[in-house]
Amino acid sequence: MSYMVIGGTGHVGSHIIRRLVSEGLEVISFSRSGDSARLMDLLSKIKNVRGDVRDLGSIIHAIKMHEVRYLIYSAAEHPWAWTPHSVIDNMIKGFANVLEAARLMDVEKVVWTSSYAHLGPPHLYGKPRVNEDDPVKPQVIHGVSYVVNEFMTSYYAENYGLDVLGLRLGLVFGPGRERRGFGDILVDLFENPVLGKPVKVPKADSMITPQYVKEAANVVWIGLKAKGYKHRIYNTCDEAVSYRQLAEWVRELIPNAQIELEPGEDTPRALVDASRFREEFNYKPLFSVRDGVIDYINHLKASLLGGQK
């Protein structure tokens, strides 16, 4: 019995693999690129499979060859390819193929990482926080894909009896994140101070819902173990902070950090309520956002400066 992480070489996927390996499980990383740079220290402990979610046959073959019982889907298209065609081809068709493969191969469970990209800005809701029952109002094309995939989640569960669970992650930050469009500041705000470089934060009073990548992996692990949940889609984090607050935490750790905070506020998405997940899963995070900042800075000091303080 094994666990296959689709998108296993990506930012979140690689940390999910780390968590599964730490639990002593047999793990397969399934990805289009096969690039294992984020997993070099684990190559002797995992199986690395190249495949494409757009090809249903390649998913079925991997499931059959490795006797996969649990599928974790954490694949996403790069922002520079966010055109309607690429999003439909990769993120919608690809996810549909994953669910269909799981159905055909009698996979025991599918857990996948959704996103808050389905939300619109706060003024569209007229309330301070939104939950899973509030309407989705995506403003970006990849947000539309999450809406469709959440619908397919419910459809496959209700019509085919597939055990599939969608977990909405926040704006994920931490080791391994690349500069990839929205959220680039969540790389520069941490890396630049460690390297002694300046960083400018525009509209520093904007509120976001960050989630440390190790906590995102923890959430997926909780979802994999869970049974008897009442819903198919859950918000998993709701600790909202401003970029200004993140900068203050960085300065506590790196007092000489050259961080320029530009005034202004442009909160891109409504803030969320994740109480349903906390209550139904008895969830208590391992990392608060501040804990994540501390762990990330320590990681960067070790990886970029050889452990220098």
pLDDT digits (tens, 9 = 90+) for 285-303: 999 999 999 999 999 999 9
Percent of the chain with pLDDT over 90: 83
Q: Which residue has the tokens 């525009």?
A: 202
Lowest mean pLDDT across 23-27, 60-64, 285-289, 304-308: 304-308
Q: Give which of 153, 17, 10 is closest to 79, Cα–Cα.
A: 10
Backbone φ/ψ region at 7: left (φ over 0), alpha (ψ -120 to 50), beta: left
Q: Residue 309's pLDDT is what?
A: 46
The torsion defined by the Cα of 293, 172, 36 and 147, in degrees rounded to 10, comes to 170
The CATH number of the structural domain formed by 2-172+211-235 is 3.40.50.720
Residue ranges per domain, the chain?
A: 2-172+211-235, 174-208+240-268+289-307
Q: Residue 1's pLDDT is what?
A: 81
